[in-house]
């Protein structure tokens, strides 16, 4: 394949991947369901309308909070549930003692088993003092009510507890009180928590319990339509944020934490209203939560799940492939893949050294130029974000209209750092009559850097490795095939590995934009640089 054809193919693939990413990023549309045990997004909308009927904020200690509590109990009673209240006292917004109340219902299963425990569905019903709190977290409450209705109509094998916590916005008070004081906590074997930090976009299963291999296998079986990746779970562990799930996890209970984060500007603001909340997002939240609850209650809860028995951490890797299927592998396979990739690249370098098409020194120069390009991208991206924040001319980190332009600009800047430095180094090498080695040295040097990065990530944050490991495995594979077939061009290799890099990085980009905006410009530019590394021979 000629370089011109490979470049054209890369451009076409880039456009297609961007188009598919945008299409698969949106939640599926609502559809009326006929089975009583299924989640109905239209019914959930009715529960939402009733719960926030007065449109008042539900800050603890306020009149709106008290009225919302009464409407919640009324809805549960109308569903035929026996409402259990857990009053407790904690500090509210004004730092004085405030009376709060958790609301709990139990749905009996067809084959309850105290030794295996039950599933807990959790959603907090308080809000901040601004806006209706439709996304955070009236949407979760409405979905939990519809899940309650569906489970009562078609009960799973094990019991299910549905808990509406109070005081989440003032320090996770309700969840802490439930874990510390309520006798039902000892029966809980797994948790499914519903929350939000926005108004629309896809739902993310962004946090799991400690036993990641078990959770990854369950996600593989359920195959949720929600986005999920071990990268998010890994990152969340190192962030200061917390939800009720954080309390349950510290209490030794595994499970899944679900939320949506689209339009984060609406979070904790007056714009968090029913009008800005996407019904499709709510439907996806409830549909996926119910699927996980049924999977846990119908069998998975007995496979190592039980409160009071924290699971040993195993760093399994998983991610959804465009919401079509969940891919996962155990931790040992990560280490094997890195080792084999390094071995294969070493053999490929040896073969090309014998052919006089690569050299050890040139490969090290290629790795050095790649590392310099990565560092340059991080520095420029960080300077961009700092300048925008300092100037106060852009509403950071989520500008009202220019976030995608800014995100695309940072990606291009990061990619340009790799391309420019690579061209400078190769031009000097060609001037010294080493042109036959320049291409393969650049290619192998770039992937040598990726091997080092993968080794560091496997040690420090193993769940975040798949965006680099998948292209690395692809690159080592096509390089080995190229040696076997005696290919004299890198164009096919670069196109194959670059395509894999695009496929694994592109679905993550909207999530990064929603989560961080333009606030982490260095990280955004880094992503562009890493993708450019895979295509580097085509850019020379």
The CATH number assigned to the domain holding 76 equals: 3.40.630.10
Count of structural domains, the chain: 2
Do 342 and 433 lie in one domain? The reply is yes
Give the pLDDT of residue 314: 55
> Residue 486: its pLDDT value, please?
55
Exposure letters 81-91 (e unless 16+ CB within 10 A, then b)? beeeebebebe
Together in a domain, 156 and 53: yes
- Domain boundary (328, 344, 367) is at 328
247 and 99 belong to one structural domain: yes
- 476 with 369, same domain? yes
**pLDDT for 168:** 96
Whether the model clears a pTM of 0.85, i.e. scores above it, the answer is: yes
Boundary residue ending a domain (328, 347, 373): 328
Token readout for 117 is 């425990």
Judgement on whether residues 240 and 225 belong to the same structural domain of the protein: yes
Task: Note whether 10 and 143 are same-domain residues.
Answer: no
Q: How far apart are CA 352 and CA 336, in angstroms?
A: 24
pLDDT of residue 72: 98
Q: What is the pLDDT of residue 356?
A: 84
Residues 339 and 438 in one domain: yes
The answer to whether residue 77 sits within a structural domain is yes
Same domain, 380 and 503: yes
Q: What is the pLDDT of residue 310?
A: 41
Is 29 contained in some domain?
Answer: no
374 and 417 belong to one structural domain: yes
Residue 175 and residue 287 in one domain: yes
Other beta carbons within 10 angstroms of residue 460's beta carbon come to 11
Residues 66 and 99 grouped into a single domain: yes
With a cut of 50, which residues of the chain have pLDDT below it?
Answer: 304-313
Of the candidates 294, 328, 362, which is a domain's last residue? Answer: 328
pLDDT at 523: 97
What's the 3-state SS for 94-163?
CCCEEEEEEEEEEECCCCCCCCCCEEEEEEECCCCCCCCCHHHHHHHHHHHHHHHHHHHHCCCCCCEEEE
Please give the structure tokens belonging to residue 52. 């926030």
Domain that holds residue 60: 37-328
Per-residue confidence (pLDDT) for residue 246, from 0 to 100: 93
Buried b vs exposed e over 376-407: b needs ≥16 C-beta within 10 Å? bbbebbbebbeebeeeeebebbbbeeebeebb
pLDDT at 306: 42
| Those residues with Cβ within 8 angstroms of residue 350's Cβ, 6 or more apart along the chain or in another chain | none
Handedness of CA 57, 61, 62, 64 (dihedral sign): positive
Pair 13, 140 in one domain: no
């Amino acid at each position: 394949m000629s370089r011109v054809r490979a470049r054209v193919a890369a451009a076409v693939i880039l456009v297609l991947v961007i188009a598919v990413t945008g299409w698969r990023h949106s939640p599926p549309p609502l559809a009326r369901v006929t089975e009583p045990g299924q989640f109905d997004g239209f019914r959930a909308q009715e529960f939402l309308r009733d719960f926030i009927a007065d449109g008042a904020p539900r800050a603890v200690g306020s009149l709106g909070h008290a009225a919302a509590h009464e409407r919640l109990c009324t809805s549960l009673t109308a569903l035929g549930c026996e409402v259990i209240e857990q009053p407790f006292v904690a500090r509210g917004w004004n730092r004085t003692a405030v009376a709060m109340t958790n609301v709990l219902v139990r749905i009996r299963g067809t084959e309850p088993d105290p030794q295996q425990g039950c599933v807990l569905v959790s959603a907090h019903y308080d809000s901040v003092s601004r806006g209706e709190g439709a996304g955070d977290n009236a949407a979760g409450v409405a979905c939990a009510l519809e899940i309650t209705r569906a489970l009562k109509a078609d009960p799973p094998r094990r019991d299910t507890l549905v808990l509406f916590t109070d005081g989440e916005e003032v320090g996770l008070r309700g969840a802490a009180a439930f874990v510390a004081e309520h006798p039902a906590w000892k029966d809980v074997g797994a948790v499914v928590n519903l929350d939000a930090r926005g108004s629309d976009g896809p739902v993310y299963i962004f946090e799991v319990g400690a036993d990641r291999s078990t959770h990854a296998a369950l996600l593989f079986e359920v195959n949720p339509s929600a986005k999920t990746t071990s990268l998010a779970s890994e990152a969340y562990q190192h962030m200061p944020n917390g939800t009720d799930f954080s309390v349950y996890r510290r209490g030794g209970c595994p499970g899944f934490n679900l939320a949506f984060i689209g339009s984060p500007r609406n979070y904790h603001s007056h714009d968090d209203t029913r009008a800005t909340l996407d019904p499709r997002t709510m439907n996806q939240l409830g549909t996926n939560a119910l699927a996980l609850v049924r999977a846990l209650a119908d069998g998975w809860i007995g496979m190592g799940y039980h409160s009071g028995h924290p699971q040993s951490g195993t760093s399994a890797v998983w991610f959804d492939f465009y919401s079509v299927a969940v891919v996962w592998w155990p931790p040992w396979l990560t280490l094997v893949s890195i080792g084999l990739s390094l071995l294969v690249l070493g053999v490929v370098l040896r073969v090309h050294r014998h052919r006089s098409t690569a050299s050890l020194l040139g490969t090290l120069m290629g790795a050095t130029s790649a590392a310099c390009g990565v560092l340059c991208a991080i520095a420029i991206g960080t300077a961009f974000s700092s300048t925008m924040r300092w100037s106060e001319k852009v509403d950071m980190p989520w500008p009202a209209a220019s976030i995608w332009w800014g995100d695309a600009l940072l990606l291009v800047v990061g990619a340009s750092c790799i391309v420019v430095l690579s061209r400078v180094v190769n031009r000097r090498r060609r001037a010294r009559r080493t042109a036959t080695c320049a291409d393969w040295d650049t290619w192998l040097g770039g992937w040598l850097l990726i091997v080092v990065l993968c080794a560091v990530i496997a040690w420090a944050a193993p769940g975040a490795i798949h965006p680099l490991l998948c292209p690395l495995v692809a690159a080592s594979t096509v390089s080995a095939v190229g040696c076997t077939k005696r290919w004299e061009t890198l164009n096919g290799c670069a196109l194959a590995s670059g395509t894999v890099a695009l496929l694994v990085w592109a679905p993550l980009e909207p999530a990064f934009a929603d989560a961080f905006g333009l606030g982490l410009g260095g990280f955004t530019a880094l992503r562009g640089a890493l993708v450019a590394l895979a295509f580097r021979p085509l850019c020379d």
